[in-house]
Amino acid sequence: MNVDIQEEQLLELQRQATLGHLLASVAHEFSAPIGSILSNRDVELRLLDRIEKAVAEPAPERVKELVSSCRELARVDQIAGERISRLVRSLKTAARVPDPEWHRVNVNEVVDSALQLAKTEFRGRIAVETDFGPVPEVECHPHLLSQALLNLVTNAGHAIAGTGKITAGTRQEGDAVHIWIADTGQGIREEDQAKVLQQGFTTKPVGAGTGLGLLIVRRIVAEDHGGSIGFESAWGHGTTFHIRIPLQAKRKGVE
């Protein structure tokens, strides 16, 4: 990928900063299901001991109750295990080693991975909904696309004060895939909208934002993938970002 080395370094530093911020939330998210699994395991072992004793007695109803309890604990363990598995897959996608080669990926999986990671930071404060369509695979740089989507999702979460909702969707539009991230946050003032995708612009308090997040998203989508980015917003009613990625890579320097 023919890009200036300073830009490459900026991308990598921003990616690492985003992941580093999320890792603390992910670690917290892991602790609850892991604790549940370990705790349930001990209870299950005790229940099995009691089942062994109950089988030797004429009390079939009691045996059924104990078996039912074990099955319920096993169900909870399965849910916890699936949650951990999804987070691990999401981390692998986001932390993928930068690769200059193009790869075909399932966009719905990349968007979902970004949502799963961001949810660890939201911790129940923000509901997440998806509206994924049956889209074909896209030829892209997966680590860059993942970073762009993670930036958009985390920005959407930061725009929501208190509780709210983020909706992510995908559709095929001709020779491109349309991805949108909508939030129920404060929105963007009309006088600020023209500056949103410019370097250094941020609505966050001084010291809380660099204004690089959306600039990097624009660079990844438009320059690295030949796609487009836009948004619609109403002050007090939230914002929706739209990105469109070509199904077939538009390599730089190739007509």
In the chain the domains, ranked by start, together with CATH numbers, are 100-246 (3.30.565.10)
> Is 21 within 8 Å of 28 (Cβ atoms)?
no
Query: Does residue 172 carry a pLDDT above 70?
Result: yes
DSSP, residue by residue, 99-160: -SS-EEE-HHHHHHHHHHHHHHHHTTSEEEEEEE--PPPEEE-HHHHHHHHHHHHHHHHHT-
- Assign 131 a pLDDT band (cuts: 50, 70, 90): very high
**Among 21-35, 74-88, 98-112, 215-229, the least confident range:** 21-35
C-alpha span between 57 and 114 (Å, rounded): 53
Closest CA to 141 of 226, 246, 224: 224
Mean pLDDT of 8-32: 64
Residues in the chain: 255
> Is 110 within 8 Å of 94 (Cβ atoms)?
no
Query: Does residue 58 carry a pLDDT above 90?
Result: no
Mean pLDDT of 191-204: 68
Query: Does residue 199 carry a pLDDT above 60?
Result: no
Query: Does residue 3 carry a pLDDT above 50?
Result: no
pLDDT of residue 209: 43
C-alpha span between 211 and 192 (Å, rounded): 13
Q: Which residue has the higher pLDDT, 188 or 97?
A: 188
Average pLDDT across the chain, whole number: 78
pLDDT of residue 114: 86
Mean pLDDT of 122-146: 91
Angle between helices 142-158 and 5-55 (to 10 degrees): 80
Mean pLDDT of 72-98: 69
Closest CA to 247 of 122, 97, 138: 138
pLDDT of residue 16: 62
**pTM (two decimals):** 0.64
